[in-house]
Chain A
Amino acid sequence: MNDKTNITLTINGRDHAIAVEPRRTLADAIREDCGQTGTHIGCEHGICGACTVIVDGEPVRSCLMFAVQAAGKTIRTVEGLAKDDKLHPMQQAFMDHHGLQCGFCTPGFLMLAVGVLEREPDISDDDLLDVLSSSLCRCTGYQGIIKAVRAAAIEMRGK
């Protein structure tokens, strides 16, 4: 199991040349090999969604994907959301609508919501609720998250 494979992960437009064991998850590689610790790991079995990142335009659970599977793909994480010191509308909306308390699940929710709205800007409120119910938050009771994502959706459509 000790054989390592050389791969390049492209995270937020920057290449990271790393050597990983085939069994290394994308989540661990992003955090430990590439030093991008904004992506959090909450369950390692694909339920909580804290580790959600966007791979080639799709939100994925990075704990359920091997790093070697993500080689050559475009990976986006929470660190890449803000542009030129300006927060992404989703980040701003989470602050404005109290969509976070401890903040541990927040990066996953942000990437989930951004990924889905980029793919499907006109998603219905009800479908959006289904999407958001695929991740877990233990602090907020979700009301602030739902409000924030709906508010950001309007702003993202306007652009």
Chain B
Amino acid sequence: MTAHTKGTGLKWVGRAMRRVEDPALVQGQGHFTADLPAVHWVRFVRSPNAAGKIKSIAKPAGALVITAADLKGVKPITPMLHKFSYRPVAQPILAETKVRYVGEAVAAVVAASEEYAEDIADLVEIDIDETAPLIDARDALKDGAPQIHAVAPGNVILEGKHKTPGFDAVWAAAAKVIKIDARSHRQNATPMEARAGHAAYDAATGRVTLTCTTQMPHLMRTAIADVLGMPESDLRVIAPDVGGGFGQKMSLCAEYVVLVWLARKLKSSVAWTEDRRENLIASFHSRDQYITLEGAFDKDAKLLALRADVVSNVGAYSCFPTTSGVEPLMAMAEMPGPYDVQQYQCLARGVLTNTCTMAAYRGVSRPIITFTLERLMDKAASAFALDPIDIRRRNLIEKFPYTSAMGLVYDEATYKETLEMAVKAIDVPAFRKRQEEARKQGRYLGIGFATFSERTGYGSPAFAARGMEITPGWETVILTVDPSGFVEARIGSSPHGQGLRTTLAQIIADEIGVTPDVIKVVHGDTDTSPYGWGTFASRSLVISGGATLIAAQKVRAKLIKIASTMLEAAPHDIVLENGAAKVAGTDRSVTIAKMAREAYTQTHRFKGEIEPGMTETGTYDPPGTFSNACHVAIVEVDIETGHARIEKFLVAEDAGRIINPMIADGQVIGGIAQGIGNALLEEIIYDDGGGILTANLADYMPPTAREMPPIELHHLETPSTQSITKAKGLGEGGCIGAPAAIVNAINDALSPFGVQIDEMPATPQRIRTALRDAEKAAKKTA
């Protein structure tokens, strides 16, 4: 690594530098979409019914109300997969002849203020010939179930199948088969800023600028231009400060299409700010799955084969760009997790229902498959009379690179080392003693482990393997040293809280020998940043960071060339540091600002050998790299109320080289909080008629500061060989491991009662029901 020996070396990378994003945000100077004034405001009228034919829509006299009939020529949103028997389900921008879930947008009311738009929306009458809805995926799979889309027989939108050769023979020879029927209920990613969009028409150019709270501005531009049939150059998309996304803001929203259409029609500015109820019922949902998983073990508790049946409720439509394959196909691809198991059979189906459309949410299926697999390992440990730690020791991957039963190549990681690190740090023997003493007093403590792999920073081949028509893999960075000597990086990625402006500046600073305060990272505007995919899938630091490093290496090479001319020294004697090029071992130097100025203004000095200016481009499309961690939870369950309190949480994790430890820890802790919500609190509940019972933040409950336990973090840094910065991604790990560790701990606490909780969230009600059922069963046998 040249940066060790030249320039400022690792001076900035690895440092817990304060974030450059923060000063504006703590002073209320951020720019969020809803801050923009508009001439017209939009309120969507949404379907009150989950299924049925639209008979009529009555608009109040004199009001501007847009329905599907007005949007002639606008194409439906039809994302595409070229594999897995995918059915190309189409979503009309506004419901056309049918409604398919409660909350589906049927009409758009336009008025001079948000309040008036709401008043008018209340007067729009939609008459729907209601039919019986399908809410649960298993009901939608039944013979004779109503068809939600004609194009998808049996309501199956896609079917992933995998079976390794030799599976049957290994399965038949197994000593024991352990089975789990796991259930993960539905969640909403719940960014604190709900969706918002603002489209403004510019009469001089005929262009529309859409400002919206998105994780993918460039793809939104492509997608909306496609749907509206307009030149992409007539649309500019800006993602300003974005108040969290967690995957919910990486899909195309029909609402934004309507805004751009209206701005062009009205030749004016049009805004929509979603309210929280709309966000909870009609943005995107996730994690609604049934998984049946069986593990075949030999007599020594070595896992030989896995068989999985994944039923993923994908809701009413398919999200763009990932399609509703995002959850079932992720579950299929990564089910074997961190374990060495070479035989695998899987059936993973995406099932359409009359519910809100499923899309990516931080972790995408991995919180569920980790929960399922880690519960299975604990059940197997119990069946073999082994400690849960021992069964993991026997089965974790040790040799790298490791090719999984699905053909994924795992780069070097530390599955066993992080497990041992966590076991040692939590002091298991001391806990077991405390647990035994507590039980004598009628208190029930439990400990739970989760080991997992987190596939991060994967480029376009990984998306191509899913058959995606759009493979959002690579990233581009354009790095400029301007004539004043200041540095600007324009990136295609689109951070929204991850601190990428800080971490990319750290990478650039080390490579070209400047301090981060002269570097600006610019993102989120399709007019000024290069085409790129955005921030999601734990990818930005790996992929955009890699592209940044490539661009910075090119700038560095150019600076050295210029310095060697100006200082009349050999290139290998030039050192870049503290904003200057120096000749090693001498006092001869020239500032980077002066070199940059001359690269623009004195180009004749370089005899045509150096291109004018100081702008270089880097593009990076890596194969992907696996982070890993072991999570441990200690809980206490109140058996009277069913309430589970997390007493302590411990993480031993390895995400390769850490660029900024403060930001990295923040990602892990924030992920754990979402994992706690998943494990204990958060559930979108539909009634039988398809109405949502959890349409506010008192009923849908993200964790508060009270629910957070003390969290202890331990780190290993195994530099990635699959990432040029050596960094691995870590944005999702926190929420991947936590639910499994917590629910395993609850089961450990309740082990005296013979209770098995294989359902998330493990609410007090579910825990009490399980305890009551166990009590009844015990009475019967007595």
Could you tell me which A residues sit within 8 Å of B by CB distance? Answer: 1, 21, 23-24, 28, 31-32, 36-45, 47-48, 50, 77-79, 81-82, 87, 91, 94-96, 98, 100-107, 110, 129-130, 132-146
Stretch of B26-34, B123-131, B460-468 on the interface side: B26-34
Contacts of A141 in B (CB 8 A): 666, 669-674, 708, 711, 734
- A1 close to B119 (CB less than 8 A): yes
Contacts of B28 in A (CB 8 A): 36-39, 77-79, 107
- A102 close to B496 (CB less than 8 A): yes
- List 8 A–B pairs whose Cβ atoms lie within 8 Å, in order of A's numbering: A94-B26, A101-B244, A101-B499, A103-B21, A135-B704, A136-B192, A136-B704, A138-B246
Binary flags per residue of B49-79, CB closer than 8 Å to A gives 1, else 0: 0000000000000000000000000000000
Task: Tell me, yes or no, whether B491 is within 8 Å of chain A by CB.
Answer: no
- A43 close to B244 (CB less than 8 A): no
Question: Which of B26, B114, B119, B242 is A106 in contact with, Cβ under 8 Å?
Answer: B26
Count residues of B near A (Cβ-Cβ below 8 Å).
57
- B697 close to A142 (CB less than 8 A): no
- A140 close to B669 (CB less than 8 A): yes
- A143 close to B708 (CB less than 8 A): yes
- B192 close to A105 (CB less than 8 A): yes
Q: Give the CA-CA distance A110 to B28 in the complex, in Å.
A: 10
- How many A-B pairs have beta carbons closer than 8 Å: the answer is 170
Question: Which of B22, B32, B673, B674 is A100 in contact with, Cβ under 8 Å?
Answer: B22
Q: Which of B683-733 contact A (CB under 8 A)?
A: 696-698, 702, 704-708, 711
Contacts of A103 in B (CB 8 A): 21-22, 24-26, 30, 241, 243, 497
Contacts of B434 in A (CB 8 A): none
Contacts of B273 in A (CB 8 A): 41
| Extra inter-chain contacts (7) besides given A44-B276, A141-B734, CB under 8 Å | A38-B27, A39-B28, A133-B705, A137-B192, A138-B670, A142-B704, A143-B711
Contacts of B22 in A (CB 8 A): 94-95, 100, 103
Question: Which residue from chain B places its CB closest to the CB of A107 in the assembled complex?
Answer: B28
Contacts of A78 in B (CB 8 A): 26-28
**7 closest pairs, A vs B, by CB?**
A38-B28, A104-B243, A103-B25, A102-B497, A141-B673, A78-B28, A101-B497
A151 CB, min distance to chain B CBs, angstroms: 14
Contacts of B242 in A (CB 8 A): 102
- B704 close to A138 (CB less than 8 A): no
Q: Give the CA-CA distance A92 to B449 in the complex, in Å.
A: 37
- A91 close to B241 (CB less than 8 A): no
- A104 close to B32 (CB less than 8 A): yes
- A102 close to B193 (CB less than 8 A): yes
- B276 close to A43 (CB less than 8 A): yes
Q: Give the CA-CA distance A143 to B670 in the complex, in Å.
A: 9
Most buried by B among A43, A91, A145: A43
Q: Give the CA-CA distance A140 to B499 in the complex, in Å.
A: 12
Binary flags per residue of B658-676, CB closer than 8 Å to A gives 1, else 0: 0000110110011111100
Contacts of A132 in B (CB 8 A): 704-705
- A100 close to B35 (CB less than 8 A): no
Q: Give the CA-CA distance A67 to B464 in the complex, in Å.
A: 54
- A96 close to B496 (CB less than 8 A): no
Most buried by B among A38, A102, A134: A102
Q: Give the CA-CA distance A44 to B28 in the complex, in Å.
A: 19
Contacts of B34 in A (CB 8 A): 31, 37, 40-41
A104 CB, min distance to chain B CBs, angstroms: 3
- B193 close to A104 (CB less than 8 A): yes
Contacts of B702 in A (CB 8 A): 136, 138
B212 CB, min distance to chain A CBs, angstroms: 15
Task: Tell me, yes or no, whether B194 is within 8 Å of chain A by CB.
Answer: yes
- B673 close to A142 (CB less than 8 A): yes
Contacts of B342 in A (CB 8 A): none
Task: Tell me, yes or no, whether B594 is within 8 Å of chain A by CB.
Answer: no
Task: Tell me, yes or no, whether B498 is within 8 Å of chain A by CB.
Answer: yes
Given A42-B276, A48-B192, also A142-B26 (CB < 8 A): no
- A45 close to B243 (CB less than 8 A): no
Binary flags per residue of B1-31, CB closer than 8 Å to A gives 1, else 0: 0000000000000000011011111111110
Task: Tell me, yes or no, whether B517 is within 8 Å of chain A by CB.
Answer: no
Q: Give the CA-CA distance A132 to B704 in the complex, in Å.
A: 8
Question: Which of A32, A45, A79, A143 is B697 in contact with, Cβ under 8 Å?
Answer: A45
- B26 close to A40 (CB less than 8 A): no
Q: Give the CA-CA distance A43 to B277 in the complex, in Å.
A: 8
Task: Tell me, yes or no, whether B323 is within 8 Å of chain A by CB.
Answer: no
Task: Tell me, yes or no, whether B275 is within 8 Å of chain A by CB.
Answer: yes
Given A23-B115, A102-B193, A139-B670, also A31-B26 (CB < 8 A): no
Question: Which residue from chain B places its CB closest to the CB of A97 in the assembled complex?
Answer: B662
Q: Give the CA-CA distance A130 to B706 in the complex, in Å.
A: 7
Question: Which residue from chain A places its CB closest to the CB of B26 in the assembled complex?
Answer: A91
- A82 close to B193 (CB less than 8 A): no
Given A143-B669, A143-B708, also A95-B26 (CB < 8 A): yes
- A91 close to B276 (CB less than 8 A): no
Task: Tell me, yes or no, whether B191 is within 8 Å of chain A by CB.
Answer: yes
Most buried by B among A21, A105, A106, A138: A138
